[in-house]
Each structure stands twice: as structure tokens, then as C-alpha cells.
């Protein structure tokens, strides 16, 4: 049946192809059209968006955007994380209305509830970020990320409303100076020349603003770059979540004014997923000293008035202190079990050797080791070594971190050694003051603790003048 009614006069019982509008009123709408619940004769339900009819160049422009959206959805019928297309119709110019039908999904703010658990918000944001990451890998950007365009469909968090989507084969449609997207969530560069602005960093900005709104329960985000030191911005002040400090830094990096200074959508997706990783389970609980150090890192005093260089060095030093305390705690605990003495090595060359030497001096490089030696033996025949190293090549770079636990049988006058590696690992590209960093530190402590049994067996074997136990 051909429909020639204008948008604004759509009513219940009106037919669009196989679909009939149902309900007393529309589900939503705006300047581009109306959204209604619809159903087919066999009981299939959906939500139809009917494009408003405009005259002249404005009508041509909006119809072009509508066609682009439908073309994109038709080309991605089973793409995870996208609200799928069920049916569509484009006007042939004879007076018909253009429309498309999607599944009925729950808006994200309704699905999260009035007082959402921050972990649930981060879970939803991580799924959305993963979808944007997968789209970006194909050269696709959404350019209209905001809470109104995010939904819960079944057991997935999905993105809808691709009216402003851009992809490699698409022709630009925006005139110079035309505003594109929601101004409250819009990156600064999108206001001047939207179709020439890099869309990837714009999605990063909009997603960061959306995450802040969903976590804080505010209707609109604050303007400009996110400022963790400002109580009006700070998530640490507003929510209770173990990675609120790390999320503050992530949002700061995602809302830098210059697009090239922002973190990537890949960085956001990885960091959000890291915030959801359960800590590794160790057989021994962390000491009060370690918990105190962790709390101190999350409640560090404001560095609002320090320079960027001082701030970066403070983050490196804080990470190193926490890391070295983590390994020192494990070394002292193992020494107590063995009744060995502990000696600190300022140069943990064993762990540092696991990191490839750069062609230039690193911004920061530190290493430490702890030797566990039987007491009263000037020339012991066995030593247990716990070592750790961390390197940052440039000021803004992530860190490379290594750690190990080994038992060293010293032969004769010490000129020969028989070494048994209990555990070692190298972690590459770990952002400082991030959830990934926190997870790595917990993993290091856990693996060191879980290596105690084997380290003791090997050390006792040497003390008893037996050969090393075969591993």
C-alpha cells in the first residue's frame, strides 16, 4: 500500500509495507522523523523510523543521509553490536515516505536504571567501545555517539541510529560549517568542518562524554577536557568503583582538545575491558602494606598545579614504588618460609636483561632484585632470586615490565651456576596509572606466590646436597 501522509499525521493502524503502526503514540522522534512501534500480521514486532518530508536542498540532504544509513546497515547485516535492520523502503519521488524498521530495543539509560552499578555501566561501555573498535578497523565511524543512540537488545549492548555514519566509499554530504551530531557530545573539530574532521577521534571524544554521563547520572556532560583534579569532573568524587581513578585518567586522555593527542578507540576498549577483569586468585592474601600502597595510589593528592613533566614522572615513580613493594613483599614472605636472609640489589639485572636494549636512553628505567641466602654462609651454595624491572622509553609511552623468580645453585667457587627458572614474564606496552597496570601488578604477586612451593623444593634440594629436582 502506498503511503502519502506527511510525518506528524502518522497514527496507529497506518501501514508501511508489511508493517502496521501500533500503540496510542509514537515511541520517539525529532527533526528527522518519527519512531513508532509496528507489527506484522504474523506477530513480528519492531520500531519504524519514518523520515520527515522536507522541500528543496534540505530534503535532498536528509534523504541522502537516510539512504547512507540504510546502505550501511544492509552491508552489515550480522555485525555484532549494531542494532540490525529488519526492513526498509526509500521513496522513489512519487510522494511515498522513506522508512526503515529495527528491532524494539531498550534505551541504555532505561536498561541501566536510575542508580546503575558502575561495573554494569563499564560493561556496557566496553561492549560499545569494542563495536566501535571493530568498525574503525573497517574505516567506519559512527559520528553520533550519545546515550540516546545506545540500546540493550537481548543480552547485548548495541549501537543504533547510523544516520551520520561515514565509511571509506561514502561521499561527503556536509556543507562547510554545518554542525553535525549532538553538540553536547560533539568533539570541537566537528563543529567547523565535520566531513573533513577525523571521525575516529571524534567518536573517542563522544564516547568519553557518554561514559561520564552514564556513570554520574547527569543528563549532559561538562564541556571541554575532562579534569580529574576538578571535583565537578572527578569520578573518584562521584562514584564508588575500584578503577574510578584510572577511568578519570582515561576520560582525560579521550577528551584532549587536539584530536591527535587523544587516546585511540583501541586504547579505550582495552582499558574498559581491563577494568572488568577479576583479580587473579592467590593462595596467600595480600599484606596490609600492599593494600595500603594500593589505596595510597588511588587517593593521591591533586597534581593540578604541577607541570606535565612532573606529573608523568610522578606516575612512573608511583608505579615503580608499588611494583617494587609488590615483589619485595613476596621475597620477604618466601625468605621467612625458608628461614633465609634477604639482601636488596639495587640493580635487578636478571629482570632488566629480559627487556631488549633500545637504541637510545630511555625516559625512565629501573630494576631491583632480592637475594635470598641461607644465614651464616659467606659462600652459600644456593640463592633464590626475585627480580623486577620497568622501562618507559618516552615521557608519554606505556611501560615495559618484567619479573622473575628463580633458584640458583652456586657451584664450586661461584664461577659456575645451575639456574632453575620458577616463573618469569615480560609485559609489553602497559599504560601507567591504568586498570591494566593494576591487573599486571596483581598477576605478578599471584604468580610469585604460586611459585613458592617449587622454589622451596629446589632450594631444599641444594641444601641437602642433592641434585636439583627435575621439573
Whole-angstrom Cα distance, residue 268 to residue 198?
17
C-alpha atoms less than 13 angstroms from C-alpha of 454 in its C-beta half-sphere: 15
- Residues whose CB falls within 8 Å of the CB of residue 44, separated by 6 or more in sequence, listed in order: 86
For 260, which DSSP code?
G
Q: What is the pLDDT of residues 69-121, one digit of tens each?
A: 999 999 999 999 999 999 999 987 667 889 999 999 999 999 999 999 999 99
Whole-angstrom Cα distance, residue 444 to residue 388?
10
Element (H, E) at 283: none
106-275 adopts what CATH topology? Transferase(Phosphotransferase); domain 1 (1.10.510)
Whole-angstrom Cα distance, residue 228 to residue 236?
8
Q: What is the pLDDT of residues 291-349, one digit of tens each?
A: 666 666 665 544 344 456 777 788 889 999 999 999 999 999 999 999 999 999 888 88
- Residues whose CB falls within 8 Å of the CB of residue 256, separated by 6 or more in sequence, listed in order: 225, 262
Whether residue 174 contacts residue 166, with contact meaning beta carbons closer than 8 Å, is answered with no
In the numeric block, which cell numbers belong to residue 337?
618460609
Dihedral pair phi/psi, residue 258, rounded to 5°: -80, 125
Query: Residue 303: is it exposed, middle or buried by C-beta count within 10 angstroms (0-12/13-18/19+)?
Result: middle
Q: What is the pLDDT of residues 25-34, one digit of tens each?
A: 888 776 678 8
The pLDDT of residue 2 is 41
Weakest mean pLDDT among 106-120, 273-287, 322-336, 358-372: 273-287
> Is residue 20 predicted with pLDDT exceeding 90?
yes
Greater confidence (48 vs 288) lies with 48
Closest CA to 142 of 162, 118, 123: 162
Q: What is the pLDDT of residues 444-456, one digit of tens each?
A: 999 999 999 999 9
In the numeric block, which cell numbers belong to residue 284?
596467600
The pLDDT of residue 176 is 43
Whether residue 100 contacts residue 48, with contact meaning beta carbons closer than 8 Å, is answered with yes
The pLDDT of residue 163 is 86
Q: Tell me the pLDDT band of 175, cut-offs 50, 70 and 90.
A: very low
Dihedral pair phi/psi, residue 173, rounded to 5°: -120, -10
> Is residue 399 predicted with pLDDT exceeding 70?
yes
Segments making up each domain of the chain, as ranges = 15-102, 106-275, 293-463
Q: Give the mean pLDDT of 196-206.
A: 93
Q: Tell me the pLDDT band of 170, cut-offs 50, 70 and 90.
A: low
In the numeric block, which cell numbers belong to residue 54?
522536507
Whole-angstrom Cα distance, residue 60 to residue 224?
34
The pLDDT of residue 299 is 57
Q: What is the pTM of this model?
A: 0.76
Range 15-102 has CATH code 3.40.640.10: no
Whole-angstrom Cα distance, residue 408 to residue 420?
6
Amino acid at each position: 500500500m502506498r503511503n502519502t501522509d506527511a510525518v506528524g499525521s502518522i497514527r496507529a493502524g497506518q501501514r508501511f509495507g508489511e508493517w502496521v503502526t501500533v500503540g496510542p503514540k509514537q515511541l520517539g522522534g525529532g527533526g528527522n522523523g518519527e519512531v513508532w512501534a509496528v507489527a506484522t500480521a504474523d506477530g513480528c514486532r519492531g520500531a519504524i523510523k519514518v523520515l520527515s518530508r522536507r522541500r528543496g536542498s534540505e530534503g535532498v540532504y536528509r534523504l541522502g543521509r537516510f539512504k547512507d544509513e540504510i546502505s550501511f546497515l544492509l552491508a552489515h547485516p550480522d555485525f555484532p553490536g549494531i542494532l540490525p535492520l529488519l526492513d526498509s523502503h526509500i521513496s522513489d519521488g512519487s510522494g511515498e515516505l522513506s522508512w526503515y524498521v529495527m528491532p524494539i530495543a531498550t534505551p541504555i539509560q532505561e536498561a541501566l536504571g536510575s542508580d546503575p552499578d558502575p561495573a554494569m555501566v563499564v560493561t556496557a561501555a566496553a561492549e560499545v567501545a569494542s563495536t566501535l573498535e571493530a568498525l574503525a578497523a573497517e574505516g567506519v565511524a559512527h559520528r553520533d555517539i550519545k546515550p540516546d543512540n545506545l540500546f540493550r537488545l537481548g543480552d547485548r549492548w548495541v549501537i543504533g541510529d547510523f544516520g551520520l555514519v561515514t565509511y571509506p566509499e561514502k561521499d561527503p554530504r556536509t556543507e562547510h560549517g554545518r554542525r553535525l551530531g549532538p553538540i553536547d557530545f560533539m568533539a570541537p573539530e566537528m563543529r567547523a568542518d565535520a566531513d573533513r574532521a577525523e571521525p575516529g577521534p571524534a567518536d573517542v571524544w563522544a564516547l568519553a562524554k557518554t561514559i561520564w554521563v552514564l556513570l554520574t547520572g547527569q543528563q549532559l556532560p561538562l564541556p571541554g577536557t575532562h579534569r580529574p583534579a576538578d571535583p565537578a569532573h572527578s569520578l573518584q568524587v562521584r562514584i564508588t568503583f575500584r578503577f574510578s581513578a584510572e577511568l578519570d585518567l582515561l576520560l582525560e586522555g579521550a577528551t584532549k582538545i587536539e584530536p591527535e593527542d587523544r587516546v585511540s578507540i583501541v586504547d579505550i576498549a582495552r582499558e574498559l575491558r581491563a577494568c572488568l577483569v577479576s583479580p587473579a586468585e592467590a593462595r596467600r592474601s595480600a599484606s596490609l602494606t600492599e593494600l595500603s600502597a594500593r589505596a595510597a595510589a588511588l587517593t593521591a593528592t591533586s597534581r593540578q598545579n604541577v607541570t606535565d613533566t612532573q606529573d608523568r614522572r610522578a606516575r612512573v615513580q608511583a608505579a615503580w614504588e608499588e611494583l617494587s613493594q609488590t615483589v619485595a613483599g613476596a621475597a620477604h614472605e618466601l625468605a621467612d618460609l625458608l628461614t633465609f636472609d634477604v639482601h636488596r640489589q639495587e640493580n635487578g639485572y636478571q629482570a632488566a636483561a629480559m627487556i631488549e636494549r633500545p637504541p637510545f636512553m630511555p625516559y625512565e628505567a629501573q630494576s631491583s632484585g632480592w637475594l635470598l641466602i641461607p644465614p651464616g654462609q659467606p659462600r652459600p651454595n644456593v640463592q633464590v632470586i626475585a627480580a623486577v624491572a620497568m622501562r618507559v622509553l618516552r615521557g608519554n609511552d606505556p611501560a615495559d615490565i618484567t619479573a622473575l623468580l628463580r633458584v640458583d645453585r652456586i657451584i664450586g667457587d661461584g664461577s659456575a651456576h645451575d639456574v632453575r627458572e620458577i616463573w618469569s614474564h615480560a609485559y609489553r606496552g602497559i599504560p601507567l596509572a591504568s586498570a591494566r597496570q593494576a591487573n599486571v601488578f596483581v598477576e605478578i604477586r599471584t604468580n610469585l606466590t604460586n611459585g613458592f612451593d617449587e622454589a622451596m623444593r629446589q632450594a631444599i634440594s641444594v641444601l641437602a646436597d642433592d641434585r636439583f629436582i627435575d621439573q
